[in-house]
A and B are shown apart, each in its own frame.
Chain A
Amino acid sequence: MSAEVKEKEPLFSPKNLKLIKNPINLSNPITVQVLGICSALAVTAKLMPAIVLSISVLVVMAVSNVVVSLLRNGIPPRIRIIVQLVVIASMVILVDQVLKAFVYDVSKQLSVFVGLIITNCIIMGRLEAFAMSNKPWPAFLDGIGNALGYGIILIIVAFFRELLGSGTVLDMQVIPDVFYEFGYKNNGLMILPPMALITVGVIIWVQRYYTRDLIEKN
Protein backbone atom coordinates (compact mmCIF):
# COMPACT_ATOMS: atom_id res chain seq x y z
CA MET A 1 0.00 0.00 0.00
CA SER A 2 1.26 3.47 -0.79
CA ALA A 3 1.82 6.05 1.87
CA GLU A 4 -0.43 8.65 0.35
CA VAL A 5 -3.20 9.65 2.67
CA LYS A 6 -6.62 8.76 1.44
CA GLU A 7 -9.17 11.50 1.44
CA LYS A 8 -11.40 10.94 4.46
CA GLU A 9 -14.60 9.32 3.35
CA PRO A 10 -17.84 10.88 4.59
CA LEU A 11 -19.80 8.65 6.99
CA PHE A 12 -22.69 8.20 4.62
CA SER A 13 -20.86 8.16 1.31
CA PRO A 14 -22.67 6.46 -1.59
CA LYS A 15 -20.38 3.48 -1.11
CA ASN A 16 -21.36 3.17 2.53
CA LEU A 17 -25.05 3.67 1.83
CA LYS A 18 -24.86 0.80 -0.63
CA LEU A 19 -23.86 -1.43 2.29
CA ILE A 20 -27.26 -0.78 3.79
CA LYS A 21 -29.33 -0.67 0.59
CA ASN A 22 -27.97 -3.70 -1.22
CA PRO A 23 -28.91 -6.36 1.32
CA ILE A 24 -32.45 -4.99 1.46
CA ASN A 25 -33.05 -5.73 -2.19
CA LEU A 26 -30.26 -6.88 -4.55
CA SER A 27 -28.50 -9.24 -2.16
CA ASN A 28 -31.26 -9.83 0.35
CA PRO A 29 -30.16 -12.59 2.72
CA ILE A 30 -33.48 -14.44 2.61
CA THR A 31 -34.93 -13.92 -0.84
CA VAL A 32 -31.72 -13.80 -2.87
CA GLN A 33 -29.10 -15.67 -0.84
CA VAL A 34 -31.74 -17.94 0.74
CA LEU A 35 -30.10 -17.93 4.17
CA GLY A 36 -31.81 -17.92 7.56
CA ILE A 37 -34.92 -19.61 6.19
CA CYS A 38 -35.32 -21.77 9.29
CA SER A 39 -36.21 -18.90 11.60
CA ALA A 40 -38.30 -17.28 8.89
CA LEU A 41 -40.52 -20.36 9.01
CA ALA A 42 -40.62 -20.68 12.73
CA VAL A 43 -41.33 -17.28 14.20
CA THR A 44 -43.55 -15.71 11.58
CA ALA A 45 -46.94 -17.08 12.61
CA LYS A 46 -47.45 -13.86 14.58
CA LEU A 47 -46.09 -10.38 13.94
CA MET A 48 -44.84 -9.60 17.44
CA PRO A 49 -42.27 -12.44 17.75
CA ALA A 50 -41.09 -11.69 14.20
CA ILE A 51 -40.44 -8.05 15.10
CA VAL A 52 -38.65 -8.97 18.31
CA LEU A 53 -36.51 -11.57 16.56
CA SER A 54 -35.65 -9.07 13.82
CA ILE A 55 -34.55 -6.51 16.39
CA SER A 56 -32.54 -9.16 18.24
CA VAL A 57 -30.81 -10.22 15.03
CA LEU A 58 -30.13 -6.56 14.23
CA VAL A 59 -28.45 -6.00 17.58
CA VAL A 60 -26.46 -9.23 17.46
CA MET A 61 -25.37 -8.63 13.90
CA ALA A 62 -24.40 -4.96 14.25
CA VAL A 63 -22.47 -5.46 17.48
CA SER A 64 -20.68 -8.65 16.50
CA ASN A 65 -19.75 -7.17 13.11
CA VAL A 66 -18.18 -4.19 14.88
CA VAL A 67 -16.42 -6.30 17.51
CA VAL A 68 -14.97 -8.70 14.95
CA SER A 69 -13.96 -5.79 12.74
CA LEU A 70 -12.14 -4.14 15.66
CA LEU A 71 -10.35 -7.38 16.45
CA ARG A 72 -9.72 -8.32 12.82
CA ASN A 73 -5.98 -7.56 12.83
CA GLY A 74 -5.33 -9.55 15.99
CA ILE A 75 -7.42 -12.62 15.31
CA PRO A 76 -5.21 -15.61 14.48
CA PRO A 77 -6.61 -17.01 11.20
CA ARG A 78 -6.47 -20.57 12.51
CA ILE A 79 -9.03 -19.93 15.22
CA ARG A 80 -10.98 -17.14 13.53
CA ILE A 81 -14.19 -19.16 13.26
CA ILE A 82 -14.01 -19.95 16.97
CA VAL A 83 -13.46 -16.29 17.78
CA GLN A 84 -16.43 -15.31 15.62
CA LEU A 85 -18.60 -17.90 17.31
CA VAL A 86 -17.61 -16.72 20.79
CA VAL A 87 -18.52 -13.16 19.85
CA ILE A 88 -21.87 -14.17 18.34
CA ALA A 89 -22.74 -16.57 21.14
CA SER A 90 -21.96 -14.00 23.83
CA MET A 91 -24.14 -11.43 22.10
CA VAL A 92 -26.99 -13.89 21.68
CA ILE A 93 -26.87 -14.86 25.36
CA LEU A 94 -26.91 -11.20 26.33
CA VAL A 95 -29.92 -10.51 24.11
CA ASP A 96 -31.67 -13.58 25.49
CA GLN A 97 -31.07 -12.45 29.08
CA VAL A 98 -32.34 -8.95 28.33
CA LEU A 99 -35.48 -10.31 26.67
CA LYS A 100 -36.12 -12.58 29.65
CA ALA A 101 -35.77 -9.62 31.99
CA PHE A 102 -37.90 -7.09 30.13
CA VAL A 103 -40.24 -8.80 27.65
CA TYR A 104 -40.79 -12.16 29.30
CA ASP A 105 -43.91 -13.10 27.32
CA VAL A 106 -42.25 -12.61 23.97
CA SER A 107 -39.12 -14.37 25.13
CA LYS A 108 -41.28 -17.35 26.07
CA GLN A 109 -42.86 -17.36 22.62
CA LEU A 110 -39.49 -17.17 20.89
CA SER A 111 -38.10 -19.83 23.27
CA VAL A 112 -35.31 -21.65 21.47
CA PHE A 113 -35.20 -19.38 18.45
CA VAL A 114 -33.33 -16.63 20.25
CA GLY A 115 -30.62 -19.16 21.08
CA LEU A 116 -30.70 -20.34 17.49
CA ILE A 117 -29.67 -16.89 16.25
CA ILE A 118 -26.19 -18.30 16.88
CA THR A 119 -26.67 -20.75 14.05
CA ASN A 120 -28.19 -18.17 11.71
CA CYS A 121 -25.92 -18.45 8.68
CA ILE A 122 -26.38 -14.80 7.78
CA ILE A 123 -24.47 -13.63 10.83
CA MET A 124 -21.42 -15.83 10.50
CA GLY A 125 -21.50 -15.29 6.77
CA ARG A 126 -21.24 -11.52 7.18
CA LEU A 127 -18.53 -11.78 9.82
CA GLU A 128 -16.41 -14.04 7.66
CA ALA A 129 -17.09 -12.28 4.37
CA PHE A 130 -17.16 -8.66 5.44
CA ALA A 131 -16.22 -7.77 9.01
CA MET A 132 -12.94 -9.73 8.93
CA SER A 133 -11.62 -7.47 6.17
CA ASN A 134 -13.28 -4.10 6.69
CA LYS A 135 -13.17 -1.21 9.14
CA PRO A 136 -15.69 -1.01 12.00
CA TRP A 137 -17.96 1.65 10.48
CA PRO A 138 -18.60 -0.10 7.15
CA ALA A 139 -18.89 -3.37 9.09
CA PHE A 140 -21.52 -1.78 11.31
CA LEU A 141 -23.48 -0.57 8.29
CA ASP A 142 -23.16 -3.95 6.63
CA GLY A 143 -24.55 -5.60 9.76
CA ILE A 144 -27.47 -3.19 9.96
CA GLY A 145 -28.18 -3.59 6.24
CA ASN A 146 -28.24 -7.35 6.29
CA ALA A 147 -30.28 -7.48 9.48
CA LEU A 148 -32.78 -5.06 7.93
CA GLY A 149 -32.97 -7.14 4.77
CA TYR A 150 -33.64 -10.18 6.94
CA GLY A 151 -36.06 -8.39 9.26
CA ILE A 152 -38.14 -6.80 6.51
CA ILE A 153 -38.86 -10.16 4.92
CA LEU A 154 -39.65 -11.67 8.32
CA ILE A 155 -42.08 -8.88 9.10
CA ILE A 156 -43.78 -9.01 5.70
CA VAL A 157 -44.24 -12.76 5.99
CA ALA A 158 -45.50 -12.48 9.56
CA PHE A 159 -47.90 -9.67 8.64
CA PHE A 160 -49.63 -11.75 5.99
CA ARG A 161 -49.58 -14.94 8.03
CA GLU A 162 -51.12 -13.27 11.05
CA LEU A 163 -53.63 -11.30 8.98
CA LEU A 164 -54.87 -14.28 6.97
CA GLY A 165 -54.28 -16.95 9.60
CA SER A 166 -55.67 -15.28 12.70
CA GLY A 167 -57.44 -12.20 11.31
CA THR A 168 -55.35 -9.97 13.55
CA VAL A 169 -52.37 -7.64 13.31
CA LEU A 170 -50.22 -7.41 16.45
CA ASP A 171 -53.03 -9.31 18.23
CA MET A 172 -55.59 -6.62 17.37
CA GLN A 173 -58.52 -7.82 15.32
CA VAL A 174 -58.59 -6.10 11.95
CA ILE A 175 -61.03 -8.24 10.02
CA PRO A 176 -64.47 -7.02 11.13
CA ASP A 177 -66.95 -9.41 12.73
CA VAL A 178 -69.35 -8.80 9.83
CA PHE A 179 -67.05 -10.80 7.55
CA TYR A 180 -67.19 -13.76 9.88
CA GLU A 181 -70.98 -13.56 10.03
CA PHE A 182 -71.05 -13.86 6.24
CA GLY A 183 -68.99 -17.01 6.47
CA TYR A 184 -65.43 -15.76 6.21
CA LYS A 185 -63.01 -18.06 7.97
CA ASN A 186 -59.42 -17.63 9.07
CA ASN A 187 -57.10 -19.79 7.00
CA GLY A 188 -55.59 -22.24 9.48
CA LEU A 189 -53.00 -23.31 6.91
CA MET A 190 -51.38 -19.87 7.10
CA ILE A 191 -50.30 -20.56 10.67
CA LEU A 192 -48.53 -23.78 9.73
CA PRO A 193 -44.87 -23.66 8.59
CA PRO A 194 -45.42 -24.60 4.91
CA MET A 195 -47.25 -21.35 4.24
CA ALA A 196 -44.22 -19.39 5.43
CA LEU A 197 -42.21 -20.98 2.63
CA ILE A 198 -44.91 -20.26 0.09
CA THR A 199 -45.19 -16.67 1.30
CA VAL A 200 -41.43 -16.27 0.96
CA GLY A 201 -41.77 -17.73 -2.54
CA VAL A 202 -44.41 -15.15 -3.46
CA ILE A 203 -42.18 -12.37 -2.11
CA ILE A 204 -39.28 -13.63 -4.26
CA TRP A 205 -41.59 -13.66 -7.29
CA VAL A 206 -42.76 -10.09 -6.68
CA GLN A 207 -39.23 -8.91 -5.96
CA ARG A 208 -37.90 -10.43 -9.20
CA TYR A 209 -40.71 -8.91 -11.18
CA TYR A 210 -39.66 -5.44 -10.04
CA THR A 211 -35.90 -6.04 -9.92
CA ARG A 212 -35.00 -7.39 -13.34
CA ASP A 213 -31.30 -7.50 -12.43
CA LEU A 214 -31.98 -10.54 -10.31
CA ILE A 215 -33.24 -12.63 -13.22
CA GLU A 216 -30.65 -15.04 -14.60
CA LYS A 217 -29.68 -14.45 -18.25
CA ASN A 218 -30.35 -17.91 -19.62
Chain B
Amino acid sequence: MYTNGYIFRYAAIMVIIAAAVLSTAAMLLKPFQEKNVAIDKMGGILASAKIPDVDASNAMSLFNKYVKEEIVINQDGDVVESYKEGKMEDGKAFKIDMKRELYKKSKGEPYELPLYVIEDGSQKLFIIPFRGIGLWGPIWGNMALNDDLNTIVGVTFDHKGETPGLGAEIVADFFTKQFIGKKIFNDKNEFMSIMVVKGGIEKLPKNQRIHGVDAITGGTITCNGVNDMIKDILESYLPYLQKNR
Protein backbone atom coordinates (compact mmCIF):
# COMPACT_ATOMS: atom_id res chain seq x y z
CA MET B 1 0.00 0.00 0.00
CA TYR B 2 2.76 2.44 0.94
CA THR B 3 5.86 2.16 -1.22
CA ASN B 4 9.32 2.75 0.13
CA GLY B 5 9.56 5.84 -2.02
CA TYR B 6 6.41 7.24 -0.41
CA ILE B 7 7.73 6.55 3.08
CA PHE B 8 11.01 8.30 2.36
CA ARG B 9 9.31 11.30 0.75
CA TYR B 10 6.87 11.50 3.64
CA ALA B 11 9.61 11.42 6.24
CA ALA B 12 11.74 13.97 4.39
CA ILE B 13 8.92 16.48 3.92
CA MET B 14 7.75 16.05 7.51
CA VAL B 15 11.20 16.70 8.90
CA ILE B 16 11.69 19.78 6.74
CA ILE B 17 8.36 21.26 7.82
CA ALA B 18 9.07 20.56 11.49
CA ALA B 19 12.52 22.14 11.18
CA ALA B 20 11.14 25.23 9.45
CA VAL B 21 8.44 25.75 12.09
CA LEU B 22 10.85 25.30 14.97
CA SER B 23 13.58 27.55 13.60
CA THR B 24 11.08 30.31 12.83
CA ALA B 25 9.74 30.11 16.36
CA ALA B 26 13.25 30.13 17.81
CA MET B 27 14.17 33.22 15.79
CA LEU B 28 11.02 35.12 16.73
CA LEU B 29 11.30 34.34 20.43
CA LYS B 30 15.03 34.91 20.75
CA PRO B 31 14.92 38.63 21.71
CA PHE B 32 12.51 37.88 24.57
CA GLN B 33 14.59 34.97 25.79
CA GLU B 34 17.81 36.97 25.70
CA LYS B 35 16.23 39.73 27.71
CA ASN B 36 15.11 37.19 30.30
CA VAL B 37 18.59 35.73 30.52
CA ALA B 38 20.09 39.21 30.99
CA ILE B 39 17.57 40.03 33.70
CA ASP B 40 18.30 36.73 35.40
CA LYS B 41 22.03 37.50 35.34
CA MET B 42 21.42 40.95 36.84
CA GLY B 43 19.18 39.45 39.50
CA GLY B 44 21.94 37.01 40.47
CA ILE B 45 24.55 39.76 40.74
CA LEU B 46 22.26 41.94 42.86
CA ALA B 47 21.20 39.04 45.06
CA SER B 48 24.79 38.11 45.84
CA ALA B 49 25.31 41.68 47.08
CA LYS B 50 22.26 41.24 49.33
CA ILE B 51 20.22 43.95 47.61
CA PRO B 52 16.69 43.34 48.93
CA ASP B 53 13.48 42.79 46.94
CA VAL B 54 14.97 42.05 43.55
CA ASP B 55 12.60 40.45 41.08
CA ALA B 56 12.30 40.16 37.33
CA SER B 57 10.36 43.42 36.98
CA ASN B 58 12.83 45.68 38.77
CA ALA B 59 16.15 43.89 38.25
CA MET B 60 17.19 46.10 35.36
CA SER B 61 16.50 49.43 37.10
CA LEU B 62 18.07 48.26 40.38
CA PHE B 63 21.07 46.99 38.45
CA ASN B 64 21.57 50.44 36.96
CA LYS B 65 21.05 52.05 40.35
CA TYR B 66 23.50 49.98 42.38
CA VAL B 67 26.20 48.94 39.92
CA LYS B 68 28.58 51.87 39.75
CA GLU B 69 31.32 50.38 37.67
CA GLU B 70 31.92 47.44 35.37
CA ILE B 71 35.53 46.40 35.09
CA VAL B 72 37.12 44.15 32.51
CA ILE B 73 40.39 42.62 33.65
CA ASN B 74 42.90 40.51 31.75
CA GLN B 75 44.86 37.42 32.77
CA ASP B 76 47.56 39.56 34.43
CA GLY B 77 45.02 41.31 36.62
CA ASP B 78 45.27 44.62 34.77
CA VAL B 79 42.17 46.68 34.17
CA VAL B 80 41.44 46.67 30.44
CA GLU B 81 38.29 48.72 30.59
CA SER B 82 36.32 50.50 33.24
CA TYR B 83 32.75 51.33 32.34
CA LYS B 84 30.99 53.87 34.54
CA GLU B 85 28.71 56.00 32.40
CA GLY B 86 25.64 54.93 30.52
CA LYS B 87 23.42 51.90 30.76
CA MET B 88 25.05 49.13 32.72
CA GLU B 89 23.59 46.39 30.52
CA ASP B 90 25.55 47.84 27.58
CA GLY B 91 28.91 47.60 29.33
CA LYS B 92 31.52 45.33 27.84
CA ALA B 93 31.90 43.44 31.10
CA PHE B 94 28.22 42.50 31.16
CA LYS B 95 28.45 41.12 27.65
CA ILE B 96 31.49 38.92 28.26
CA ASP B 97 30.72 35.26 27.71
CA MET B 98 32.43 33.56 30.65
CA LYS B 99 32.24 30.19 28.97
CA ARG B 100 34.27 31.38 26.00
CA GLU B 101 36.83 33.23 28.15
CA LEU B 102 37.34 30.17 30.36
CA TYR B 103 37.80 28.07 27.26
CA LYS B 104 40.50 30.50 26.08
CA LYS B 105 42.09 30.19 29.50
CA SER B 106 42.14 26.40 29.28
CA LYS B 107 43.87 26.73 25.91
CA GLY B 108 46.50 29.04 27.41
CA GLU B 109 45.32 32.00 25.34
CA PRO B 110 44.85 35.53 26.74
CA TYR B 111 41.43 36.09 28.25
CA GLU B 112 39.31 38.82 29.80
CA LEU B 113 37.01 38.59 32.79
CA PRO B 114 34.25 40.84 34.14
CA LEU B 115 34.04 42.37 37.61
CA TYR B 116 31.18 44.46 38.94
CA VAL B 117 31.41 47.16 41.58
CA ILE B 118 28.29 47.77 43.61
CA GLU B 119 27.93 50.72 45.95
CA ASP B 120 25.15 50.42 48.47
CA GLY B 121 25.34 53.36 50.84
CA SER B 122 28.77 53.33 52.44
CA GLN B 123 29.48 49.75 51.37
CA LYS B 124 31.57 49.06 48.30
CA LEU B 125 31.31 45.50 47.01
CA PHE B 126 33.10 43.62 44.27
CA ILE B 127 31.09 40.96 42.46
CA ILE B 128 32.86 38.06 40.79
CA PRO B 129 30.76 35.93 38.46
CA PHE B 130 31.33 32.17 38.44
CA ARG B 131 30.94 29.45 35.91
CA GLY B 132 31.74 25.77 36.30
CA ILE B 133 30.64 22.20 35.86
CA GLY B 134 28.12 20.37 38.03
CA LEU B 135 26.97 16.78 37.74
CA TRP B 136 24.56 17.05 34.81
CA GLY B 137 25.46 20.37 33.28
CA PRO B 138 26.82 23.86 33.87
CA ILE B 139 26.58 25.60 37.22
CA TRP B 140 27.17 29.30 37.73
CA GLY B 141 26.84 32.01 40.32
CA ASN B 142 28.20 35.21 41.80
CA MET B 143 30.29 36.06 44.81
CA ALA B 144 30.21 39.48 46.45
CA LEU B 145 33.45 40.44 48.21
CA ASN B 146 33.88 43.23 50.70
CA ASP B 147 36.25 46.03 49.68
CA ASP B 148 39.06 44.24 51.51
CA LEU B 149 38.72 41.78 48.60
CA ASN B 150 38.80 38.97 51.11
CA THR B 151 35.59 38.70 53.13
CA ILE B 152 32.51 37.26 51.44
CA VAL B 153 29.33 39.29 51.75
CA GLY B 154 27.12 36.91 49.84
CA VAL B 155 26.97 34.31 47.10
CA THR B 156 24.35 32.98 44.74
CA PHE B 157 24.44 29.80 42.71
CA ASP B 158 22.36 28.54 39.87
CA HIS B 159 22.39 25.48 37.66
CA LYS B 160 21.03 24.07 34.45
CA GLY B 161 19.81 20.68 35.59
CA GLU B 162 21.26 19.38 38.85
CA THR B 163 19.29 16.68 40.67
CA PRO B 164 16.26 18.26 42.37
CA GLY B 165 16.43 17.93 46.14
CA LEU B 166 20.11 16.96 46.09
CA GLY B 167 22.61 18.86 43.95
CA ALA B 168 20.01 21.46 43.03
CA GLU B 169 20.00 22.53 46.67
CA ILE B 170 23.14 24.62 46.06
CA VAL B 171 20.65 27.35 45.16
CA ALA B 172 18.98 27.19 48.57
CA ASP B 173 19.51 29.68 51.37
CA PHE B 174 20.82 27.16 53.87
CA PHE B 175 23.76 26.46 51.56
CA THR B 176 24.59 29.97 50.33
CA LYS B 177 24.14 31.46 53.81
CA GLN B 178 27.20 29.55 55.00
CA PHE B 179 29.49 31.59 52.77
CA ILE B 180 28.72 34.90 54.46
CA GLY B 181 31.72 36.16 56.43
CA LYS B 182 34.09 33.48 55.13
CA LYS B 183 37.48 34.58 53.86
CA ILE B 184 39.37 33.62 50.72
CA PHE B 185 42.84 34.60 52.00
CA ASN B 186 44.41 33.46 55.27
CA ASP B 187 46.26 35.62 57.80
CA LYS B 188 49.52 35.18 55.92
CA ASN B 189 47.85 36.52 52.80
CA GLU B 190 47.95 33.15 51.08
CA PHE B 191 45.08 32.28 48.75
CA MET B 192 42.88 29.61 50.35
CA SER B 193 39.72 29.68 48.18
CA ILE B 194 36.56 28.35 49.82
CA MET B 195 36.42 24.62 50.34
CA VAL B 196 33.11 22.79 50.11
CA VAL B 197 33.78 19.98 52.55
CA LYS B 198 32.03 16.63 52.43
CA GLY B 199 31.18 15.60 55.98
CA GLY B 200 31.24 19.16 57.26
CA ILE B 201 33.83 21.77 58.15
CA GLU B 202 34.46 20.10 61.52
CA LYS B 203 36.81 17.90 59.53
CA LEU B 204 39.06 20.88 58.82
CA PRO B 205 41.73 22.09 61.24
CA LYS B 206 40.30 24.88 63.39
CA ASN B 207 42.22 27.70 61.75
CA GLN B 208 40.98 26.68 58.30
CA ARG B 209 37.27 26.59 59.09
CA ILE B 210 36.94 30.21 58.05
CA HIS B 211 37.77 29.01 54.51
CA GLY B 212 35.24 26.18 54.33
CA VAL B 213 31.54 25.40 54.13
CA ASP B 214 29.55 22.18 54.57
CA ALA B 215 28.74 20.20 51.45
CA ILE B 216 25.21 18.92 50.81
CA THR B 217 24.40 15.30 51.64
CA GLY B 218 23.58 13.45 48.43
CA GLY B 219 24.93 16.26 46.31
CA THR B 220 28.60 15.42 46.51
CA ILE B 221 29.44 15.69 42.83
CA THR B 222 27.64 19.00 42.45
CA CYS B 223 29.36 20.27 45.59
CA ASN B 224 32.73 19.16 44.27
CA GLY B 225 31.81 21.12 41.15
CA VAL B 226 31.08 24.18 43.26
CA ASN B 227 34.37 23.71 45.10
CA ASP B 228 36.37 23.45 41.87
CA MET B 229 34.48 26.31 40.28
CA ILE B 230 35.21 28.68 43.18
CA LYS B 231 38.88 27.70 43.17
CA ASP B 232 39.30 27.97 39.38
CA ILE B 233 37.54 31.29 39.02
CA LEU B 234 39.11 32.93 42.04
CA GLU B 235 42.52 31.81 40.78
CA SER B 236 41.79 33.54 37.49
CA TYR B 237 41.01 36.73 39.39
CA LEU B 238 43.93 36.27 41.78
CA PRO B 239 46.37 38.63 40.00
CA TYR B 240 43.81 41.41 40.18
CA LEU B 241 42.85 40.66 43.77
CA GLN B 242 46.47 40.62 44.92
CA LYS B 243 47.31 43.88 43.13
CA ASN B 244 44.40 45.67 44.67
CA ARG B 245 44.38 44.42 48.25
> Which A residues are closer than 8 A to B by beta carbons?
42, 74-79, 82-83, 86-87, 89-90, 93-94, 97-98, 100-102, 104-105, 108, 111-112, 191-193
Contact = CB atoms under 8 A, between A and B. Distances in A.
Given A90-B18, A192-B165, 6 more contacts: A90-B21, A97-B26, A100-B33, A100-B36, A101-B33, A102-B32
Contacts of A83: 10-11, 14
B2 A77 contact: yes
Nearest to B160: A111
Contacts of A191: 165
Given A77-B2, A86-B14, A90-B18, A97 B29 contact: yes
Given A90-B18, A111-B161, A79 B10 contact: yes
Interface of B: 2, 6-7, 10-11, 14-15, 18, 21-22, 25-26, 29, 32-33, 36-37, 39-40, 56, 160-161, 164-165
B32 A101 contact: yes
Nearest to A93: B22
A74 B10 contact: yes
B10 A76 contact: yes
B91 to A, nearest CB: 22
Nearest to A98: B29
Contacts, number: 58
Nearest to A94: B25
Q: Chain B's interface: helix, strand, loop or mixed, by majority?
A: helix
A105 B11 contact: no
A108 B14 CA distance: 30
Task: Kindly list the 4 A-B residue pairs having the minimum CB-CB distance in the complex, ordered from nearest.
Answer: A101-B32, A104-B36, A76-B2, A101-B29
Nearest to B21: A90
Given A78-B2, A104-B56, A94 B32 contact: no
A39 to B, nearest CB: 12
Given A86-B18, A193-B165, A79 B11 contact: yes
